[in-house]
Structure 1
């Protein structure tokens, strides 16, 4: 993919003196400054040399911030994660389930994000686990991979979980039990929505107690909560590719930004309520940074979680056993992951030969780089 013309970092850089005005806490400010400095001289860098004898080109590289909210630092992480999950696939149907919180909870999300997002994970798994264990629906132990997103296309606060759930589970006999209709149907979404709403509000009430008036909790029951379940994927190999779109995604990619000038940012948005219709949204720098900051997660918060038979503890035993009994997936052949490949010869690997700090590369190496151009 070609490099983006405009970047989030550009907007942050031209507003660096006032970033603190848009942040709710010091952690958000640190994150914005990390994204602003990513792959610039401010973080130092290194000079690489191609190890291909017929090339030996020198390359100047600035260090990445490696922040999970940075649009430029997610590519390699995503591919590594996808490869690891592919090895754990089962030869069964998989469903994509989405749990969404109503906008009435947005205010609490702003002040208690860790509390609300942890409850979202906890309640979503309680719903999947409960329906899976119920003989009326499945009667088996299932699993789930859940990924938190907090944004809508216009960068508004829109917390929801993308979940991948296998169409079945391990019965008491120890054998795999397929979901109803030969794995084509998971659970009734209307029933899931009601249980999700009731359990979440009950847990929230336990945590907040009298901090919120009774009318607030009652208001949460006035509208239906959204639980969406797509039909199963055509084949298990599609599951990880699909989920890979969500794992290391951030609030907005640089490629969505069309213009960033005159203290405004213009970017593309999709309206999923109208079939993904595309449009353009223009925001001031102030509003753009404010909205971007809404989606900076609390320090150390885990946004990808595994549950049940797909959890780290259980899958070491359950996945190999199930793959043996159900058969292993025939995955398409992929070339090995290669990082630091020379962009000129496409054959050699870049090796670091000089490290430097914020002052930039030493004068001698600057001259060598200039002569090479």
Structure 2
């Protein structure tokens, strides 16, 4: 049965328990912002309607990135903009993860670490794509950062949507040879990805201990590919759910960032 209850309604039912539900202070701020969105708690403003010639009281929005009330229209705008960038070809969904030893680095230096993550993933895909042995063409990528895992613990990883092929130097489209698996070996990409990431991390944060790098090279860096999407539109709708309209979780609200690299 369809319910008209909103996320804010559910949060207001458990308002006394929100501090226990939220694991961090920013989680708590997000939950309370969603709860108060477009209510008198955030104040309001008066709008003059030229049609009815009357003043209308409008309560202010919380503008929190996790609020489904605020982010709904932005999600549609983002989907429309990304749809224009799509090609009429199949797309793969590839995920690049970071091992647990980097979690404390992600907490202390999030901007540095996540920039390195985006750059390392793009350079890994580009290196394999440009190699004539694998494809010999320039790839494209749309990537979304997801900082939390399904168990609601810190687990940074990058969701990447990659077309099944690329553009050659002559400007022609070259279709990938793979059928159901990804264009390249995920095991080989994992090694390349780890090497690029560690190299960039050493340069960006030279104060990190050698023991961290010793542990990173002992760890298998997980890269995996999911089956290709049927329609390009499905790709963008999938990403839209990650970037703008988050579903409420009982103990935490994930944080997302996005970046796209066109062909």
The superposition leaves residues 312-363 of structure 1 with CA deviations (integer Å, 9 ceiling, x where unpaired) of xxxxxxxxxxxxxxxxxxxxxxxxxxxxxxxxxxxxxxxxxxxxxxxxxxxx
Give the whole-Å Cα distance in 2 for the aligned partners of 1:212 and 1:88.
Answer: 39
Aligned to 2:65: 68
Aligned to 2:163: 166
- 3-state DSSP of counterpart to 2:205: helix
Aligned to 1:87: 84
2:218 maps to 1:216: no
Aligned to 1:246: 242
2:222 maps to 1:226: yes
Count of matched residue pairs: 258
Give the whole-Å Cα distance in 2 for the aligned partners of 1:70 and 1:148.
Answer: 18
CA RMSD across the alignment: 3.5
Structure 2 residue runs without a partner (length 5+):
none
Checking the alignment, whether the CA contact within 8 Å between 2:37 and 2:60 is kept in structure 1 is: yes
2:179 maps to 1:179: no
Aligned to 2:39: 40
Aligned to 1:135: 132
1:120 aligned to which of 96, 117, 121: 117
User: Which aligned pairs between 1:14-25 and structure 2 lie closer than 5 A?
Assistant: 14=16, 22-23=24-25
Once the two structures are overlaid, the 10-residue window that deviates more, 228-237 or 90-99, is 228-237
- 3-state DSSP of counterpart to 1:206: helix
Give the whole-Å Cα distance in 2 for the aligned partners of 1:38 and 1:5.
Answer: 10
User: Which aligned pairs between 1:325-344 and structure 2 lie closer than 5 A?
Assistant: none
State the shift of 1:304 in Å: 1.5
User: Which aligned pairs between 1:87-106 and structure 2 lie closer than 5 A?
Assistant: 87-106=84-103
2:193 aligned to which of 191, 196, 203: 196
- Greater radius of gyration (CA): 1
Instruction: Give the TM-score normalised by structure 2.
Output: 0.82
Checking the alignment, whether the CA contact within 8 Å between 2:194 and 2:221 is kept in structure 1 is: yes
The superposition leaves residues 66-111 of structure 1 with CA deviations (integer Å, 9 ceiling, x where unpaired) of 2213343221111221122223321111111111111111111111
